Amino acid sequence: MRTWKIIFAGIKSLALHKLRSVLSILGIVFGVAAVVAMLSIGEGARQEALEQIELLGTNNITIHALALTESQIMEAKKNLSSGLTATDASRLVEICPGISFIAPLKIINIESTYENRESLAPVVGTTPDYPAVRNVSVDKGRFITLLDIEENKRVCVLGADVAKTFFPVDSPLGSMIRLGSDWYNVIGVLQKKAVTRKSRATRDGQRATGSITPRNINNDIYIPLSVSVLVSPTRGSEIAVDEIGIRINEANKVQESANIIKTILTRLHNKVQDYEIIVPVELLRQSQSTQRIFNIVLGAIAGISLLTGGIGIMNIMLATVSERTKEIGIRAALGATRLDILFQFLIETLLLTVAGGIIGILLGIFGAYTINIYAEWRTVVSFTAIIIASLMSAIVGLLFGLLPAYKAARMDPIAALRFE
Amino acid sequence: MAEVHALSNISFVVERGEFIAIMGPSGSGKSTLMHILGCLDRPTSGSYYLDNSDVTALSNKELSIIRNHRIGFVFQSYNLIFQLNVIENVEVPLIYNRMSLNYDSGMDKCLKAIRAVGLNERLRHRPSELSGGEMQRVAIARALVNDPLIILADEPTGNLDSKTGEEIMGILKGLNDEGRTVIVVTHDEKVASHANRTIKLKDGSILVDSRQ
């Protein structure tokens, strides 16, 4: 009951100076709000990156062909590199251990039509390993086989979304669709695979350099690699490809294999950087270390804002203590011990910072929500963020409340009673 | 620099139930004596026995507890806490009472003390809404709430007109009649006339100690 009385008296004293109390906690409010909002942005970014990396497959390594500038092409020719080719893929299988599946992709931009329906779905030439590389199974029919490739068969396998566009009702198997100027027999449909918002937006094969967004497998039309070469011939004898997907059999060998692949490709391409290697595991590590840096910067900013907030509150409380010297004297005369006085002013500071913390958390949650709506960043208000924010506001209260409370408790009751 | 002693060679015994007036010009050591009797200060030498036990060497915390349980203060300038209303002001000593009370019996004690000073109607008023006499009544009620051995009043009528001052002295006299020890510090002969013993101080020593 005593504690409640003291807390109640604290609320009463604070309510006496409403404007002052509100102004004094603004620093804490914004500090805590910033912490909550930024932690939410960080958590959202982390989850998004994690999802994308998981979608790429942590067992996977992807090699992209890079578009070269005119001068780079000259340089490449001089060094006898013919870009990323199907030969690279076959050499990698021969030399690098641990590769379970490998599939080169050749992306050709041709129109596809079925009856009166048209689609801009990318047409991708590949090999039988591709579903295994991307860990997707065939929903209906079958995937491209070695025989299809050897015999240059005009067959195609549809991604789930494409299949839906062309064949909303009946089964696509056995139907003939037109890709560019040729007719292809639909032999299979792939299972639908979850994709992130970003890769859903990637409609064609183009992608920004360094992007870790995986292909939207649901929106591709797959044909035998050999056929795609016939449709879109490349200069020279090599089969130029846009991408090589690789799946490593053991998760803990991925980094090792990636290093070997890098070495092999450097040699095969005579040190010309006309490709990039994306290792999701590596990206995961990078994103984790970026996250760590982000957290440190965030922590520093939050610390500084809470520090200034705390100093503001301490200032107000010091003023309050000297303003209420007489009250302290009275309470001491009536039997309050030094600890009672210390407790009273500490409670008042704590009430201020905790109130500031609560308002700050609410404001932070609102801020995170607003950022999500208007900036379309994913924000996740985690329980941890709220706990951290609450703890910090309480710690600030204790830390910065201690000096004013100590000053109050140390007063000589006789001198305090004489104070006017 | 020579030490200045506000009081020296002071020795007297107060019996339970006495009504004592301590008088003297300013600088005579009245306030210091009052602070020592009220356990707000300690003598540099000598001892003070309260209720037959030596309290001279007690710690700050122990003195606080004694002030709370045994002593009721009444000040010249009332010394109410201005943000609290009448009941809450009277309740303050109960908050610091180590013997835990539940809310209801605490409330009863407050109301009983307020009734004893004849101030039943203004329970929720702030001190700023009360007259000087009413404020001093609240202060007396506050002094009574923990049922103390001694009421120590420091110029209780100093800020009041003579009529109201008489009323306040009447209340203190009434408390004395109920058996409580009352010590009043004053320089007003009329106030002192209510007491049955007068101690006059001069330059830190007792000049006269007379019983009526």
- Which residues in chain B touch residue A414, judged by CB atoms under 8 angstroms apart? 35, 40-41
- Does residue B19 form part of some domain? no
AA letter at A348? E
- Does residue B18 form part of some domain? no
- Which residues in chain A touch residue B91, judged by CB atoms under 8 angstroms apart? 5
pLDDT of B114: 92
- For the residues A372-397, what does the mean pLDDT come to? 88
Confidence band for A235, pLDDT divided at 50, 70 and 90: low
pLDDT of A205: 38
Q: What confidence tens digit (pLDDT) does each residue in B80-100 have? A: 998 899 999 999 999 888 776
Q: For residues B54 and B48, what is the distance between their CA atoms, to the nearest angstrom?
A: 6
pLDDT of A170: 84
pLDDT of B199: 94
**CATH code, domain carrying B113:** 3.40.50.300
A16 → closest Cβ in B61, B83, B95: B83
Question: What are B59's two structure tokens?
Answer: 């710690």
A367, A36 contact by CB (below 8 A) = yes
- Does residue B99 form part of some domain? yes
- Does residue B164 form part of some domain? yes
- Does residue B83 form part of some domain? yes
Q: What confidence tens digit (pLDDT) does each residue in A285-339 have? A: 888 888 888 878 887 887 888 888 899 999 999 999 999 999 999 999 999 999 9
Are A337 and B40 an interchain contact pair (Cβ–Cβ within 8 Å)?
A: no
Q: What percent of chain A has pLDDT over 90?
A: 34
Q: For residues B200 and B198, what is the distance between their CA atoms, to the nearest angstrom?
A: 6
pLDDT of A213: 65
pLDDT of B2: 62
Instruction: Count H helices and E strands in chain A, helices first.
Output: 15, 12
B66 vs A236, higher pLDDT: B66
The reply to whether A418 touches chain B by the CB within 8 Å rule is: no
Are B103 and A1 an interchain contact pair (Cβ–Cβ within 8 Å)?
A: yes
CB under 8 Å to A386, separation ≥6 — which residues?
A36, A361
- Does residue B15 form part of some domain? no
pLDDT reading at A114 higher than 60: yes
How distant is the Cα of A332 from the closest Cα of chain B, in angstroms?
A: 7
Full domain range(s) for residue B48: 27-211
Confidence band for A84, pLDDT divided at 50, 70 and 90: confident
The reply to whether B149 touches chain A by the CB within 8 Å rule is: no
Helix (H, G, I), strand (E, B) or coil at A344: helix
Judged by average pLDDT, the poorest of A22-26, A82-86, B142-146 is: A82-86
- H or E element at residue A8: helix A2-16
Q: What confidence tens digit (pLDDT) does each residue in A3-15 have? A: 787 888 888 888 8
pLDDT reading at B104 higher than 60: yes
Q: What confidence tens digit (pLDDT) does each residue in B8-65 have? A: 888 999 999 999 999 988 888 888 999 999 999 999 889 999 988 999 989 999 999 9
- Does residue B7 form part of some domain? no
A360: DSSP letter: H
- For the residues A59-66, what does the mean pLDDT come to? 86
ipTM for the predicted complex comes to: 0.94
Of the residues B32, B82, B95, the best mutation for testing chain A's interface (the one with the most A CB atoms within 10 Å of its CB) is B95
HSE-up of A164 (CA within 13 Å, CB side)?
9
- Does residue B170 form part of some domain? yes
Number of domains chain B contains:
1
Q: Which residues is A27 bridged to in the sheet? A: none
pLDDT of A274: 82
Q: Is A201 exposed, middle or buried (0-12, 13-18, 19+ CB in 10 A)?
A: exposed
Of the residues A334, A340, A410, the best mutation for testing chain B's interface (the one with the most B CB atoms within 10 Å of its CB) is A334
DSSP for B24-36, written as a single string: --TTSSHHHHHHH
Q: What confidence tens digit (pLDDT) does each residue in A198-210 have? A: 544 443 333 433 4
Q: For residues B32 and B79, what is the distance between their CA atoms, to the nearest angstrom?
A: 18
- For the residues A373-377, what does the mean pLDDT come to? 87
The reply to whether B30 touches chain A by the CB within 8 Å rule is: no
Chain B segment 104-123 residues within 8 A of A by beta carbon are 106
A362 vs A378, higher pLDDT: A362
Judged by average pLDDT, the poorest of A69-83, A391-405, B195-209 is: A69-83
Looking at every residue in chain A, the average pLDDT score rounds to 86
Q: For residues B195 and B166, what is the distance between their CA atoms, to the nearest angstrom?
A: 13
Looking at every residue in chain B, the average pLDDT score rounds to 90
